[in-house]
């Protein structure tokens, strides 16, 4: 019940964003620049604020990365095995795969902050800065393997990774943290005020991006991808954290990150590289809606299981 109560405001903001877009308020022209402002300014500033002062006691970055690598390796092997059984077209499989492994960072950071506070938020941001390059390489690799007409430019992929605002904000915050740099109070207040705008606006943008029309005709592929991402992937992610003996806060944060719906950016990649873009749009919308029910349930069950294990 505590988990559900903490996540309710997160999902209410998503629904408000959907309602605003349906009512054409403040207008369709508002959302693209709002997303750009969020992605390139608000989000990085929030990460700098949270990571600069985050406590890193007992945090082993090599174990953290290995746990992430293990989780995505297991998920990828399972999805490739599923493809050998289902024999989807290459375009369709890449959309199913993206739906199974990518995550919505706005929902994730908001959910972690609601459940674990600023310390959990900083750890989630650090984990995401490791996950994003890995996921991009895996997804681009899937297009290269399964979509013949897809010819992704690896140089462009590398540039996109190293210029990713989340990664840059995380690196800046970690650098300040490692060097013990503290900002003047006035700067801290600006960072905090700017950062406080990021997650609410991010959730509104997630809701505005929902397209329920895309759910028509998606079929079993949508359900399989969603069942894997929202049902099996949380177990894989938490299991990897336990296998690498990460601290309890790490395991809890991994539980939240594992339960997330897929990223809205998946649609752009599907459209650019020859994936099944309509299916991808349906998966994104379906998972975002399903997560309102599955995240509280999965997190409650995982929390109870972790407490039982010790």
Question: Any residues with CB less than 8 A from the CB of 272 and at least 6 apart, and which?
Answer: none
What would the mean pLDDT of 173-188 be, rounded to a whole number? 90
276-294: pLDDT as tens digits: 999 999 999 999 999 999 9
Res 34: pLDDT: 93
Q: Which two tokens stand for residue 99?
A: 């739906």
What would the mean pLDDT of 219-245 be, rounded to a whole number? 94
28: left (phi over 0), alpha (psi -120 to 50) or beta: alpha
Neighbours of 120 (CB within 10 A): 22
Q: Are 93 and 146 in contact (CB under 8 A)?
A: yes
Neighbours of 55 (CB within 10 A): 12
What would the mean pLDDT of 123-149 be, rounded to a whole number? 86
Res 55: pLDDT: 78
Res 3: pLDDT: 78
Which of the two residues, 144 and 151, has the higher pLDDT score?
144
Label residue 58 by pLDDT band (50, 70, 90).
Answer: low
Res 1: pLDDT: 45
Res 111: pLDDT: 94
Q: In the predicted model, is pLDDT for residue 156 greater than 80? A: no
CA atoms of 310 and 297, how far apart (whole Å): 20
Q: In the predicted model, is pLDDT for residue 152 greater than 90? A: no
Q: In the predicted model, is pLDDT for residue 139 greater than 80? A: yes
Q: In the predicted model, is pLDDT for residue 57 greater than 80? A: no
Q: Which two tokens stand for residue 228?
A: 């894997």
Q: In the predicted model, is pLDDT for residue 11 greater than 70? A: yes
CATH class of 2-304: mainly alpha
The alpha carbon of 224 is separated from its chain's Cα centroid by a whole number of angstroms, namely: 19
Question: Any residues with CB less than 8 A from the CB of 192 and at least 6 apart, and which?
Answer: 49
| Domain layout of the chain by residue ranges | 2-304
Q: In the predicted model, is pLDDT for residue 118 greater than 60? A: yes
Q: Are 144 and 110 in contact (CB under 8 A)?
A: no
Neighbours of 285 (CB within 10 A): 23
* 3-state helix/strand/coil string of the chain: CHHHHHHHHHHHHHHHHHHHHHCCCCCCCCHHHHHHHHHHHHHHHHHHHHHHCCCCCCCCHHHHHHHHHHHHHHHHHHHHHHHHHHCCCHHHHHHHHHHHHCCCHHHHHHHHHHHHHHHHHHHHHHHHHHHHHHHHHHHHHHHHHHCCCCCCCHHHHHHHHHCCHHHHHHHHHHHHHHHCCCCCHHHHHHHHHHHHHHHHHHHHHHHHCCCHHHHCCCHHHHHHHHHHHHHHHHHHHHHHHHHCCCCHHHHHHHHHHHCCCCCCHHHHHHHHHCCCHHHHHHHHHHHHHHHHHHHHHHHHHHHHHHHHHC
């Amino acid at each position: 019940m505590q988990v559900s109560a903490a996540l309710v405001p997160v999902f209410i903001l998503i629904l408000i964003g959907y309602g605003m877009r349906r009512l054409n308020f403040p207008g369709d022209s508002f959302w693209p620049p709002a997303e750009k402002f969020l992605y390139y300014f608000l989000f990085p500033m929030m990460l700098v604020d949270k990571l600069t002062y985050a406590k890193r006691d007992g945090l082993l970055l090599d174990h953290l990365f290995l746990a992430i690598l293990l989780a995505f390796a297991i998920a990828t092997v399972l999805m490739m095995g599923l493809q050998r059984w289902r024999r989807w077209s290459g375009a369709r499989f890449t959309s199913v795969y993206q739906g199974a492994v990518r995550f919505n960072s706005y929902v994730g950071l908001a959910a972690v902050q609601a459940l674990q506070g600023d310390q959990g938020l900083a750890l989630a941001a650090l984990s995401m800065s490791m996950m994003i390059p890995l996921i991009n390489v895996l997804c681009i690799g899937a297009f290269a393997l399964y979509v013949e007409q897809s010819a992704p430019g690896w140089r462009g992929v590398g540039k996109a990774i190293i210029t990713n605002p989340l990664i840059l904000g995380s690196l800046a915050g970690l650098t300040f943290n490692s060097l013990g740099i503290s900002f003047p109070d006035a700067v801290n207040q600006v960072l905090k005020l700017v950062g406080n705008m990021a997650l609410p606006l991010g959730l509104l943008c997630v809701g505005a991006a929902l397209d329920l029309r895309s759910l028509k005709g998606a079929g079993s592929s949508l359900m399989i991808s969603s069942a894997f991402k929202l049902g099996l992937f949380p177990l894989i992610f938490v299991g990897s954290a336990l296998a690498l003996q990460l601290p309890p806060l790490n395991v809890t944060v991994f539980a939240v990150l594992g339960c997330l719906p897929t990223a809205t950016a998946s649609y752009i990649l599907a459209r650019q590289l020859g994936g099944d873009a309509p299916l991808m749009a349906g998966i994104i919308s379906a998972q975002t809606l399903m997560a309102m029910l599955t995240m509280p349930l999965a997190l409650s069950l995982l929390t109870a299981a972790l407490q039982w294990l010790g």
